Amino acid sequence: FGVMKGSTKRTSKREDPEESDRKIRQTVAWWNRYGELQQQIHYDSVKEPLTRISSRQAMQLLNSLEDKKDRLVNPTGWIRAECQRLGGGEDRELDTKIRRTIGWINHQKVLKEPLQYVKVSGQELLSTHASHIAG
C-alpha cells in the first residue's frame, strides 16, 4: 500500500480479483453484444484462463479481438489458446509434475527416444490450433 502526497487515501498496486472479474465479464458481454464476432464468446469457458493471466494481459488480449474479429471463427477457442500461450491456461502444479515425470523417464532411458514436453503436454497441438483459428 502506498500513500499519495497530500492525501490520506491508500492505494494498492495489487489487482482486486473481483474488480478484474467484473471488467473481464463486462468486456466479454460487450464483445458478444456489439463486437460483430462470427461466434459468441462463451464466458464460462474463458473466465478461468483469463483470470490466470494478469488483468492487464487479459484486457489487452480481449481488446486485440478488434484486429482479428473478421478472421476468427471461434473467438472462445482463440482466447483460451492465447491464455495458454501467455502461461495462464495450465495448472502450474500439474505442469511441474509433468515436467519432472518426463525428466525422470528420460533419465531412465527406457524409451527409444526421449519424451518432449511440448508434444506430451499438447502445447504443440494447441499452438497449431491457435495459428489456424487466427488465420
User: Do the Cβ atoms of 13 and 2 come closer than 8 Å?
Assistant: yes
Return the pLDDT at 89.
54
- Residue 123 C-alpha cell reads as 502445447
Q: What does the pLDDT profile of the chain (135 residues) look like in tens digits?
A: 444 444 344 344 556 778 888 999 999 999 999 999 999 999 999 998 898 888 899 999 999 999 999 998 999 999 998 988 887 655 666 667 777 888 898 899 888 988 887 666 555 444 444 444 444
Return the pLDDT at 102.
85
Return the pLDDT at 7.
39
State the first-to-last Cα distance of the chain, in angstroms, to the nearest integer.
44
- Distance, CA of 111 to chain centre: 33
Return the pLDDT at 42.
95
Return the pLDDT at 14.
59
Return the pLDDT at 76.
92
- Cα dist from 14 to 6, 18, 49, 98, whole Å: 22, 12, 19, 30
Other beta carbons within 10 angstroms of residue 81's beta carbon come to: 23
pTM of the model: 0.58
